[in-house]
Amino acid sequence: MSAAPADRKGGEVAEEFDTDVCVVGGGPAGLVLALLLLRSGVRVAVVERARGHHREFRGEILQPGAMALLDELGVLTGARARGGHEHDRFRLVEGDRVLLEADYRLLPAPYDHLLSIPQAHVLDELLDHCAKFDGFQWLDGRRVGGLVRREGRVAGVTAAGPEGPCTVRARVVVGADGRYSRIRRLAGIGAGRTEAFDHDVLWFKLTEHKNTGKNTGKNTEKNTEKKSGRREAGQESRRERARERPGVEPPLRDVRVFRAGGSPVLAYASWPDRIQIGWTLPHQGYRDIAGQGLDHVREQLCRAVPPYAHLIREQIRSPRDLSLLDVFSSRAERWTDDGLVLIGDAAHTHSPIGAQGINLAVQDAVVLHPVLVGALAAGDTGAARLGVFEERRGPDIAAVMRLQTLQSKAMLSQGPIATRVRPRLARVLRHTPLYRKVLHRIAYGNPSIRISHG
């Protein structure tokens, strides 16, 4: 990695960096890919718009598939030590009835659970591992403004930030900059957006009162012999806290979706002492609700998720406490160009249903890694060579989109017939091989994806 000043118009001096791969976006996909490439002897520069990782993230649930790969990379233990919550089940509930359930305890240990963990914990751990390599350059606080092209191919990026402009020259640029990818737009690649889910999610976090206690990183470490004892103690602790604070429901070891008036609400415990809640609404339907004032929004939320009504009334004080997520699915028209490849949400965007975002991002990086190493070694970073990534990963992404569509229908379908049939069908399926097969697919995606150590 080399850096040197370069003159710009008006006397402004810009830094120039030379590297093998420039990754734009320091999220899970970008940093996992960076670490894999660095371990293979490839020089990597990561350009990230934000300063640090201590901003608000919505998706914080790791599926077993992502946990297994992060563990193999050696970063899961350190990330967990920073703090997180395990969840045993995913449940769709209506009143006192469980309509659907995915019980992760049926999966083989040690990944027999979901892990709610702040993305900052995972990203900080990945960044610490990347920083151990001499060939790594972390360029945060810089917004990409353009693509560098040489002889018709992408050969780097230009960016600007508080420290001034810079140019990063690279043999390959990886767009890992999310669902609204600037790299994708600069490359003239269409997003391929569809409205398959036709709904939005109003997202917010609630903070438990301090007298309810906090989980520390130690609470998340697996210990098979003491697992049942911990659960019993945790249940007793929850009962005690509930008695101390009537009307406030402490976090459970479940990720729950409450069915209320046809608008499901996702709720789960988030480290250290928070509850993440996502209220599903018809696409653009929030406008009408918000138009009736914040008090009306609060009361609608209280009716949708009664266990947290007290905290909602107490803590939702401003529209700024709420974040509206536009839910859509998309698959970019193509994932590669000469010298360029898209990864993660930049290549394909998904609904938050099923908590697949980080899982897919990590698996994307693992699949792309050997493709990039091979292309660099062969001196061929053209679109056709890099396109092997889409050929290998495309069928998995299509399968996830189909599964999410089915999950959406199962959660959102209404009417007396659906309400009566769904729990009965769920109980029958629970005792069939199909149940475990679907659970395994949700948890792992493509189980054949393995880290290449070559």
CATH class for the region spanning 83-115+198-326: alpha beta
**pLDDT (0 to 100) of residue 329:** 78
Between the CA of residue 238 and those of 244, 253, 257, 417, what are the distances in Å? 10, 11, 20, 36
Residue in the block written with tokens 């960044």: 127
In the chain, where are the structural domains located?
2-57+117-195+329-414, 83-115+198-326
Q: Give the model's pLDDT for residue 236.
A: 37
Q: Give the pLDDT confidence score for residue 239 in this predicted structure.
A: 34
Give the pLDDT confidence score for residue 192 in this predicted structure: 77
- Give the list of residues 6+ apart from residue 87 with CB closer than 8 angstroms, or none: 61, 104, 113, 114, 115, 116, 253, 254, 255, 268, 269
At 218 the pLDDT is 37
Q: How many CB atoms lie within 10 A of CB 32?
A: 33
Question: Which pLDDT does position 142 carry in this prediction?
Answer: 95
Q: How much is the pLDDT for 82?
A: 94
- As a whole number of angstroms, the distance between CA 163 and CA 374 comes to 35
Beta-carbon contacts of residue 380 (< 8 Å; ≥ 6 apart): none
Question: In a structure prediction context, what are the per-residue pLDDT tens digits for the chain, which is 454 residues long?
Answer: 555 554 444 456 679 999 999 999 999 999 999 999 999 999 999 999 998 765 665 668 999 999 999 999 999 999 999 999 999 998 888 777 777 888 999 999 999 999 999 999 999 999 999 999 999 999 999 999 999 999 999 999 999 988 899 999 999 999 999 989 999 999 999 987 765 556 788 999 999 865 443 343 334 333 333 333 333 333 333 334 333 344 444 445 788 888 766 678 889 988 888 899 988 887 778 888 888 999 999 998 998 888 899 999 999 999 999 998 877 778 999 999 999 999 999 999 887 766 788 999 999 999 999 999 999 999 999 999 999 999 999 999 988 888 777 766 666 555 555 555 556 666 666 767 888 888 898 899 898 999 988 6
Which pLDDT score, from 0 to 100, does residue 453 have? 83
- Tally Cβ neighbours within 10 Å of residue 287: 10
Question: Is the domain covering 2-57+117-195+329-414 a CATH 3.50.50.60 domain?
Answer: yes
